[in-house]
Chain A
Amino acid sequence: MPQYRHHILVCQGTGCLSSGSTGVLNSLTSEVRSQGLKQQVRVVKSGCFGFCMQGPVMIVYPEGVFYTQVQPDDVPEIVSSHLKQGKVVERLLFKDPETHKPVQEFDDILFFKRQKRLVLKNCGAINPENIEEYIAQDGYFALAKAVTEMTPEQVIEEVKKSGLRGRGGGGFPTGRKWEFAKGAEGEPKYVICNADEGDPGAFMDRSILEGDPHAVLEAMCIAGYAIGSHQGYVYVRAEYPVAVSRLEIAISQAREKGLLGERLFGTDFFFDIDIRLGAGAFVCGEETSLIRSIQGLRGEPRPRPPFPAKEGLWGRPTLINNVETLANIPQIIRHDGDWFASIGTERSKGTKVFALAGKIHNTGLIEVPMGTSLREVIYNLGGGIPKGKKFKAAQTGGPSGGCLTEEHLDIALEYDSLLAVGSMMGSGGMIIMDEDSCMVDVARFYLEFTRDESCGKCTPCRIGTKRMLEILTRITEGKGTEKDLNDLENLAQVVRENSLCGLGVSAPNPVLSTLRYFRQEYEAHIHDKYCPAGVCQKLLAYEIDPERCKACGLCRRECPTGAIKGAPKQPHHIEAEACAKCGVCLSKCPFKAISRGPGSRRPEPGLPAEVAAGGDEARVHPDSGSSLVH
């Protein structure tokens, strides 16, 4: 049996026959023979493809090319061009009038169009495991420019001119950091890339390392050249396995190409980079803890000064920059500092990557110029809040930051404006909350995180976060008192002012900012034993819809506390005092007659009604606590 290179199916259905496919078939058979392809091409008559309006049609395998409206005159071209040279006859391909023409071109997709992607330029556009693709996107040309055309002083000057500030959270001017490290006495010096991204909800550093690792390596080389260092370390958490393996590949490819190692670009400059894995402790993102961790010690901070720029890794001058900060460097050198400084606002230059998470349509990563409004980020890039819910707050800066509320929607996202309203830029994690989020619960979540991650070295942080968490838990369980709010505020001040490192100093931020903007929610939990968002388990109320209840008695039998009362053929009901909110009845009811909701406000005995009420009236249940509805 001969091995055919192509099989061609020519439709011989009624539709195509009437549009002339017999002529096409005959012409094809004779053309294949006359062009000497009889041994390689097999022409097959086929049944109807169901695409009769575009007939006569034929399909060429193995590729599966589908030609429509083929006339006998077209056949010689198909044979000589497609069958002989492998070139598809484009003009005979089917054109869809709807989808084909004004197609949604990549650059027209508003999600991308509204961004300014500098740091993420290569993410999703090149193969991070192939150094040549990075080079094709002008990669390593900045390093070449720096070491062959510029002095270290000029490199630092450009970075200073750019106005770049640390993207890890602090916002310290990068150029000045480099200058300190260069001016520090001691040899050898080190460059560290801080890739210990730990904020819940932030993943821009991971994405950069995964999508464009060479940008970070190139930047570290440039930094090494500028400050006089010959060794760099990337401190990355082991929980980022994809990032780690791509970094490893990137480093070995850079060494192979001679872009790391001795005599870079024919100069005397040499630089190498190694990876150090972290075990994922949040505190190791703090630079002094990070340094100890690299040295093989327990990850704990030490008082500053001396700053790492003076006494860092193994007591030597060390420059530590965050991943995103570094990823900006090659472009600053390739263009110049002024170019970078033209983007952004007066005091915050360039762009910022935000990781959108939570109650938002597009969870993902976006990059916008500094100074873009929160509204633009949430609605125009994030796609707004799903299910038509209302925006309530955005947590920026993760567990170290604070929340922005509706009144801040038009705030410009930059370092200083965020600090002014009690939040911070942080690493750029942004968690969006809608009306169904309980702010007390949010504060409790972050406190639980910092309590877990506190290294325990200093007392204010170790004990303060624990006590604050206890108070918050109490409030969410409906056991809070007015005094708890005062204690919480006092404790927050103590922890903030006395902790050793940034972890403790910033740990109270989520509590303080939710207290500042959502105090009435705390009060509802404390005074009314009511969670307005219907989140806090212990404050939820279970109810039986008498219309739906068939009095089967299943819930009554399953209820562990005997809180459900009812008789045969009579709708059952739940006695609130006895209910343990376990939810068994909800899962057992075959008629979906049981619902869970925020329930009604239950005032503390003796509290005047006006104090106890306030807040969302619509959620007050109509048939109980009626004295509270004003």
Chain B
Amino acid sequence: MDSVQELEEIRSRVLGEKPGRILISMGTCGLAAGANSTLEASRDELAKRKLTGWDIVQTGCLGLCDREPLLVVEKPGEARVVYYGVNDDRARQIIANHLVNNYIVGEWVLPSDEGTQTS
């Protein structure tokens, strides 16, 4: 690479507009909890519903290894939502409900006070 400009071009290209992204935590903990089948199901469901613009990003561990597999839905301009314990069935339902119908499946959303306790 010859210059910083090249880096800048890549950065702005990657950050460009998209309908949204699904992030699946696929560290060792996620894989052990079955993130691979979550990924497969998500891909399959997106294809089945012809949701072509969506990216599935395989990420590393978010730190909440206890609640894996974790799946994050990002829609531009909307709240980032973290789902926990996402098996393949949940993944399909999240795609149908959240991505397609904008209906957030509250039952599987990580509560905001998750992992906290007042001593």
Contacts and interface: CB of A to CB of B under 8 A. Distances in A.
A111 B109 CA distance: 13
A207 B112 contact: no
Interface string B76-101: 00011110000000000000100011
A381 interface: yes
Given A135-B7, A361-B66, A126 B57 contact: yes
A138 B118 CA distance: 37
Given A104-B112, A106-B72, A107-B80, A98 B106 contact: yes
Contacts of B113: 110
A242 B82 contact: no
B1 A105 contact: no
A366 B10 CA distance: 30
Interface residues of B, number: 56
A211 interface: yes
Contacts of A127: 57-59
Interface string A262-300: 011110000000000000000000000000000000000
Interface stretch (A38-46, A88-96, A184-192, A612-620): A88-96
Interface string B1-25: 1111001001101110000000101
A365 B61 contact: yes
Nearest to A382: B115
Main secondary structure of the interface of B (DSSP, over half): loop
B61 to A, nearest CB: 4
Nearest to B118: A379
Interface stretch (A117-125, A224-232, A445-453, A541-549): A117-125
A366 B100 CA distance: 33
A211 B59 contact: yes
A109 B112 contact: yes
Contacts of B102: 90, 93-95, 100
A132 B82 contact: no
Choose among A100, A104, A110, A379 the residue with the greatest number of B CB atoms under 10 Å from its CB.
A104
A125 B23 contact: yes
Contact of A361 (B3, B57, B115): B115
Contact of A106 (B4, B66, B80, B117): B80
Given A103-B79, A104-B81, A265-B3, A124 B60 contact: yes
Contacts of B106: 96, 98-99, 103
Nearest to A367: B63
B114 A258 contact: no
B43 to A, nearest CB: 14
Given A265-B2, A384-B119, A63 B100 contact: yes
A471 interface: no
A88 to B, nearest CB: 8
B110 A109 contact: yes
A212 to B, nearest CB: 6
B115 A111 contact: yes
A66 interface: yes
Nearest to B48: A62
B27 interface: yes
A491 interface: no
A342 interface: no
Given A63-B100, A98-B106, A365-B61, A265 B49 contact: no
A128 B81 contact: no
B51 A136 contact: no
A114 B103 CA distance: 28
Contacts of B79: 103-106
Nearest to A391: B119
Nearest to B107: A99
Nearest to A103: B79
Interface in A60-112: 62-66, 88, 90, 93-96, 98-100, 103-112
A110 B115 contact: yes
Contacts of A203: 28
Contacts of A125: 23, 59
Contact of A133 (B4, B14, B115): B14
A111 B117 contact: no
B4 A242 contact: no
Nearest to B106: A99
A93 to B, nearest CB: 5
B31 interface: yes
Given A90-B102, A379-B117, A63 B28 contact: no
Nearest to A60: B100
B115 A383 contact: yes
B28 A383 contact: no
A111 B116 contact: yes
Given A96-B103, A106-B72, A123 B11 contact: no
Contacts of B4: 141, 144, 148, 265
Nearest to A254: B1
Contact of B61 (A124, A144, A263, A378): A124
Given A104-B81, A265-B2, A364 B66 contact: yes
B1 A259 contact: yes
A126 B26 CA distance: 11
Interface in A336-395: 361-367, 375, 378-384
Contact of B14 (A136, A258, A380): A136
Contact of B112 (A110, A124, A363): A110
Contacts of B59: 123-128, 211
B80 A63 contact: no
Choose among A96, A210, A381 the residue with the greatest number of B CB atoms under 10 Å from its CB.
A210
A103 B104 contact: yes
A140 interface: yes
B64 A123 contact: no
A360 to B, nearest CB: 9
B73 to A, nearest CB: 10
A364 B112 contact: no
Contact of B101 (A64, A98, A375): A64
A542 B60 CA distance: 47
A129 interface: yes
Contacts of A378: 119
A335 interface: no
Contact of A65 (B31, B72, B100): B100
A265 B23 CA distance: 32
Which 10 residue pairs of A and B lie closest in terms of their CB atoms, listed nearest first? A211-B60, A99-B106, A124-B62, A106-B80, A111-B115, A136-B14, A258-B1, A379-B119, A384-B117, A365-B63
7 contacts: A63-B50, A63-B100, A99-B106, A103-B79, A362-B115, A378-B119, A380-B119
Given A127-B57, A207-B27, 13 more contacts: A63-B50, A93-B101, A94-B103, A104-B111, A120-B63, A125-B23, A126-B57, A135-B7, A136-B11, A203-B28, A206-B27, A363-B65, A364-B29
Interface of B: 1-4, 7, 10-11, 13-15, 23, 25, 27-29, 31, 48-51, 57-67, 70, 72, 79-82, 96, 100-106, 109-119
